[in-house]
């Protein structure tokens, strides 16, 4: 019986907003793979139309990633297919699905091939104006107020700049928690990075709470919070 050579698994970065941020290597890879797994197949279709990519596409998101593993590895190991994985935007597994797949691939001796692309927290850090030689990426804080406050209490002594992803309907609640637990620190909030209405607002937590009480809270937010002073 002829053995099948295991296919290659590509973890592919896609734009976080502006579709022109797509890399040449990512386009070539998506055109070359046999199958694509996407966090949002509708968003993938828009991207594929823009770059004339025609590919069989399946969903792989936070609710089905675990169940999809058998199917993905059947394609890779039994059929020798090459598989591409993309998230809704940015890099898979960075506050997006993909971690379980990557971990399982490594445990099976499959080395994922990374096709790098934009990541929102890097742009947010650069726009913040805060110290970024060392930083701590937190991602999405817990939705539970109790768990979110516990997280922030654990960060009281953190000296590095911290980066959070915050959904719009939780932004003011999160800032209030930062104010009460970490204090009135320097903070920068970016939204809709690389898109038409990109915005960066900087100031003290109290100032930004006032700003967002008077302005619409819409879009995708990255919140960059300054670290604590040494010895505090």
Domain segments of the chain as ranges: 9-115, 120-225
Report the candidate in 12, 58, 26 with the shortest Cα–Cα distance to residue 39. 58
Q: Is the pLDDT of residue 231 over 70?
A: no
Average pLDDT, the chain: 95
Rg over alpha carbons for the chain, rounded to the nearest Å, is: 20
Question: Which helix (H) or strand (E) covers residue 50, if one does?
Answer: helix 41-50
pTM for the model stands at 0.92
Q: Where would I find the beta strands (DSSP E) of 90-227?
A: 113-115, 135-139, 161-166, 186-191, 199-204, 221-225
> What is the pLDDT at residue 1?
45
pLDDT category, 232, cuts 50, 70, 90?
low
Q: Is the pLDDT of residue 2 over 80?
A: no
The Cα angle at residue 126 between residues 161 and 142, in degrees rounded to 5: 45
Does the 9-115 domain belong in CATH 3.40.1010.10?
A: yes
What are the tens digits of pLDDT across the range 89-120? Answer: 999 999 999 999 999 999 999 999 999 999 99
Contact 220, 203 (CB under 8 A): no
Is residue 40 helix, strand or coil? coil
Fold classified for 120-225: 3.30.950
Q: What is the C-alpha separation between 27 and 1, in angstroms, rounded?
A: 36
Q: Which two three-digit tokens encode residue 96?
A: 């997006």
> What is the pLDDT at residue 215?
81
**Intrachain domains 9-115 and 120-225 with the same fold:** no
> What is the pLDDT at residue 165?
97
- The single residue listed with the structure tokens 């030689």 is 133
What are the tens digits of pLDDT across the range 33-44? Answer: 999 999 999 999
């Amino acid at each position: 019986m002829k053995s099948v050579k295991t296919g290659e698994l590509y973890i592919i970065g896609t734009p976080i907003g502006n579709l022109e941020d797509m890399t040449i290597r990512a386009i070539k890879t998506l055109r070359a793979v046999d199958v694509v797994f996407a966090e949002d197949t509708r968003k993938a279709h828009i991207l594929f139309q823009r770059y004339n990519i025609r590919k069989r596409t399946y969903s792989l998101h936070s609710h089905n990633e675990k169940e999809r593993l058998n199917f993905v590895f059947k394609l890779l190991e039994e059929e020798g297919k090459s598989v591409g994985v993309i998230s809704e935007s940015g890099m898979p597994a960075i506050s997006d699905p993909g971690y379980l797949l990557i971990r399982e691939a490594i445990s099976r001796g499959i080395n994922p091939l990374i096709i790098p692309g934009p990541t929102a927290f890097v742009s947010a850090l650069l726009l913040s104006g805060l110290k970024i030689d060392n930083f701590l990426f937190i991602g999405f804080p817990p939705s539970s107020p109790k768990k979110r406050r516990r997280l922030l209490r654990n960060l009281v002594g953190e000296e590095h700049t911290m980066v959070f992803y915050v959904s719009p309907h939780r932004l003011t609640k999160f800032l209030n928690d930062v104010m009460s637990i970490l204090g009135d620190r320097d903070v920068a909030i970016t939204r809709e990075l690389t898109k038409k209405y990109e915005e960066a607002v900087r100031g003290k937590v109290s100032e930004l709470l006032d700003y967002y009480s008077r302005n619409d809270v819409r879009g995708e937010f990255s919140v960059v919070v300054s670290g604590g002073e040494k010895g505090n």
